[in-house]
Amino acid sequence: MFYRLPDWLRYEIQHRWERTAVNTRRRINTNPRLIISITAASVLVLVVTIGLLMPGEAVKVKEYDKGWFYDLNTGQLFVAKSDAVVPIEAPSGPLPQGGPAGVRAYVFSYSDEPNETNRFIGFLEIPHPEIKKKRVEPVESTAGGAERWGQGMLICRVGDEQWVPANGAKGRAILRGLFHPNRKGEIAHYCPPE
């Protein structure tokens, strides 16, 4: 059951509304500055809204000339050109079963100004040996950099017996563990070679 306004009150409200609308139209028609002000404010709101909705510049990832590598024979880090294709020749020579002993290493630290004592090796990386033998399914072009990065790569922690696919469940677990905050709440960050 709805309450209905009396006819006299409805008439009064309608009459005042019409009078306000007529007065507003008359004021706008006689004052062009008001029209210009309203138009300028509308355009400003539109420009600000479009500016907020437009995507910003893409973040540029810093590329380094040198990269960390790990000697599988000695367990020591060494530096080489970052664009080297692993495995590469290591300072200690070839592996006992033959082949280069140098694999890519990712070195991290919790310190803002890391030195040799507070750096650690997060994981090691090599290309999957089956890549050359079979065709790997390409990652969708809409995939982000993280999804494309692990495609066709094997990773492991120092001391692990088994290399695992970087974009597989075990590889993601290694990375998740690496980037999990420590007891102080700090997150590890990459340390490029000097």
pLDDT of residue 64: 84
Residue 176 and residue 124 in one domain: yes
Residue 12 and residue 74 in one domain: no
pLDDT of residue 139: 47
Q: Is the pTM of this model over 0.85?
A: no
Q: Provide the domain count of the chain.
A: 2
pLDDT of residue 180: 87
pLDDT of residue 158: 93
Residue 26 and residue 122 in one domain: no
Residue 46 and residue 115 in one domain: no
Residue 75 and residue 164 in one domain: yes
pLDDT of residue 136: 46
Residue 101 CB coordination number (10 Å): 20
Residue 73 and residue 168 in one domain: yes
Q: Which of 63, 176, 62, 190 is nearest to 119 (CA)?
A: 190
Residue 91 CB coordination number (10 Å): 13
Residue 93 lies in a domain: yes
Beta strands in 57-188 (DSSP E): 66-71, 77-81, 102-109, 119-127, 153-156, 164-165
Residue 48 and residue 142 in one domain: no
Q: Among all chains, which residue has been given the structure tokens 């700090």?
A: 186
Residue 118 and residue 177 in one domain: yes
Give the domain extent around 19: 7-53
Give the residue ranges of DSSP H helices in 2-31.
7-30
Q: Which of 136, 141, 163 is nearest to 151 (CA)?
A: 136
Q: Which of 180, 125, 181, 176 is nearest to 149 (CA)?
A: 125
- What is the distance between the alpha carbons of residues 132 and 146, in angstroms, rounded to a whole number? 22
Residue 47 and residue 79 in one domain: no
pLDDT of residue 149: 67
Residue 77 and residue 155 in one domain: yes
Residue 26 and residue 76 in one domain: no
pLDDT, averaged in runs of 10, over the chain (194 residues): 81 90 84 86 92 75 87 94 91 92 93 84 90 51 56 90 90 90 89 87
Q: Which of 117, 123, 120 is nearest to 109 (CA)?
A: 120
**CB distance 21 to 28 below 8 Å:** no
pLDDT of residue 57: 72
